[in-house]
Amino acid sequence: MPDGVNLSRRGLFRGRLSAPEPETRLPWSLSWPDFVADCTRCGDCLTACPEQILVKGDGGFPTLDFSRGECTFCTKCVSACELPLFRPVTEAPWDYVAHIEAGCLAHEQVFCQRCQDSCEHNAIRFSPQLGRVPTPSIDLELCNGCGACVADCPVGSIRVGAPRGEPNQV
């Protein structure tokens, strides 16, 4: 996407007037309207990310791609940004958590526990069920929304986002 894209013109053709809010914003970032109002789309945060999970999203704004790996909350994206687009790193990076969707192999009676194996915080557990393969559940108190389970899921049935029933706000 060219750097000089006029979002208002492009949005007009797509039926919207601003960049849509991604499901997950960068850790510690301001609210989406405040972030896109001042972000220059320079890409410094993208190149600073050691996990290389930050990518250019709609309109060239940085977004997370958990299919590439997990967020280690290293704060390098925050440090690389010269603008005041982030909250203090002494606060929680976000309130996002993992969600297991209907396409999970356990729902098809296929044994797989890769998400549990990749979860460093032991937030994903498999409960045994009589006559069925174990099914996963997420302990929302332990899940930090890092996304490690997303890249490990062989069928892409895990996503990271706001807790269910809540708006996509930090």
| Bridge partners, 135 (sequence order) | 127
Strands (E), the chain: 54-56, 62-64, 97-100, 124-129, 132-138, 158-161
Chain centroid to Cα 81, Å, comes to 19
Q: Is residue 146 part of an annotated ligand binding site?
A: yes
In whole angstroms, what is the distance from residue 73 CA to residue 58 CA? 23
Q: Is residue 45 part of an annotated ligand binding site?
A: yes
In whole angstroms, what is the distance from residue 68 CA to residue 104 CA? 19
Q: Is residue 104 part of an annotated ligand binding site?
A: no
Q: Is residue 71 part of an annotated ligand binding site?
A: yes
Q: Is residue 49 part of an annotated ligand binding site?
A: yes
Binding-site residues = 39, 42, 45, 49, 71, 74, 77, 81, 143, 146, 149, 153
Binding-site residues for [4Fe-4S] cluster = 39, 42, 45, 49, 71, 74, 77, 81, 143, 146, 149, 153
